[in-house]
Amino acid sequence: MAVRRDYGSFAKASKRLLAPQIESLDYHQGQGGFVRDKGGWVEGFFLQQSQWGSGDFCVNIGIDVPALDEYWSLDRSALGLLIAWRLSDSAREDGAEHWYHAKNKEQLEKSIGRVAVALTKADSWFHQFQTLSDVVESYRVREGLPNAPSGELNSVRVLNYGLLSLVDNSKDEAARWLHFAKELESRPQYWNPESRTFTREQLPGSKLMKPTDDDKLRVRVIDSVLARIES
């Protein structure tokens, strides 16, 4: 069973120690993490403490597009990363993630120092995103979406890509993907007890599922945005 941690104390102490060490990187504290506003998107990171009571924490770093919250009708109090990876001392996206120790004050101070160094090394990763179009295309590639909507794709990824295209003022592209997202959502969904996965294909032994609240939310978002685009 997970041991309850005093996350409030951890958050305050870690931010107090980290802020002066990364001052040259021009981050400011906000949305539950450290952020840099780039206009249409946000560069940022936040510390995530382990739920198992060890005191260890990791650093999630990446890109957020706050305008998506408007379409999803979200009011977030914490930083949410659309494109994300976990920091390690190597500061490479393809490197293994690292959990830093923070069982006591000494461990926390030492770990925060290592994080500050890694963040400085990782800062060049953000240079690949010079425009919002760079962010949108990176999301498409990272989520395995083809150039044109087709096939059996994850409807959440399709919907998000459509919304991102709209934020990037590509209305025709947005409409194409949003119509495809709507078509995906209209397909029946089945639970396969053998593989313990959901599928849009009816397989032997699979069970037809009723739409969930999340399914209904996605349909509402799609219909609302398409109505706005096509009005």
Could you tell me which residues come within 8 angstroms of residue 109 by beta carbon, excluding any fewer than 6 positions away?
17
What is the location of CATH 1.25.40 in the chain? Answer: 132-230
pLDDT value for 2: 42
Pick the CATH number of 132-230 from 1.25.40, 1.20.120, 1.10.510, 3.90.930: 1.25.40
Under a CB-based contact definition with an 8 Å cutoff, are residues 101 and 107 in contact? yes
**Cβ-count burial 104-123 (b if 16+ within 10 Å, e if not):** eeeebeebbebbbebbeebb
pLDDT tens for the chain, 231 residues long, are: 344 455 568 888 999 999 999 999 999 998 789 999 999 999 999 999 988 777 899 999 999 999 998 899 877 667 889 999 999 999 999 888 899 999 899 999 999 999 999 999 999 999 999 999 999 999 999 999 999 999 889 999 999 999 999 999 999 999 999 999 999 999 998 999 888 988 888 888 899 999 999 999 999 999 999 999 998
pLDDT value for 98: 92
